[in-house]
Amino acid sequence: MTKPEVLTFASLVDLLTPKSLYVVTYGWLVGMSIWVTFFGGVIAYKALPRHQFGQLQHKTFPIYFVISILLSAGLTGMWTLSHPDVQNYIQNPFVADVAQAYTLASVSIAQGLNYFVVGPMTSKTMFQRQRLEKSEGKTYNEAGVSEEMKALNRRFGSLHGISSLANLWAVIALIFHGLWIGNTGI
């Protein structure tokens, strides 16, 4: 019979390796991304009045995007440093390790687009629409809204769609990377 391993302070400190930190960082990022994309927003949308829901999204999404940018950038750096093929074949996306680095970098780019460009434009449009609702005395989707409201609705819909697609790309990229590391290792 084998002797069971006893946990000590030293054995716990030994758990902090680059590979274990990579796994924890990846788990945090993919879990957060799946939660925000498919669960948190849906729950909030069903539970809150529309203006409160918009306010919540306006406050939480920038934090989500920044964390996504930082974690995916960290993963990209860790992946690149631990996979020499990335540096040697950076211009060949068909080299598997390079493809994974590009995949991780694309998460930073997609969420950067959301944080720096699309998100602020979407929030600005949402608040313009809310002000116009107040001045017109109608909600954005009522019959007989002004042409200005219709234009804001189109703009908001387009921006929200772009933001959603960028975020969905990030989730798909992270799942692809998870499938890759699950099958080939880190």
pLDDT at site 1: 79
The span from the CA of 94 to the CA of 92, in Å, is: 5
Listing DSSP states for 1-59 in one string gives -PPPPPP-HHHHHTT--HHHHHHHHHHHHHHHHHIIIIIIHHHHHHHS-HHHHHHHHHH
Q: Taking a C-beta distance cutoff of 8 angstroms, is the pair 179, 141 a contact?
A: no
Question: Whole-prediction pTM value?
Answer: 0.93
- Sequence ranges of the domains in the chain: 21-184
pLDDT at site 25: 98
State the sign of the Cα–Cα–Cα–Cα dihedral 47, 52, 58, 64: negative
Tens of pLDDT, residues 68-109: 999 999 999 999 999 999 999 999 999 999 999 999 999 999
Residues of the chain with pLDDT under 50: none
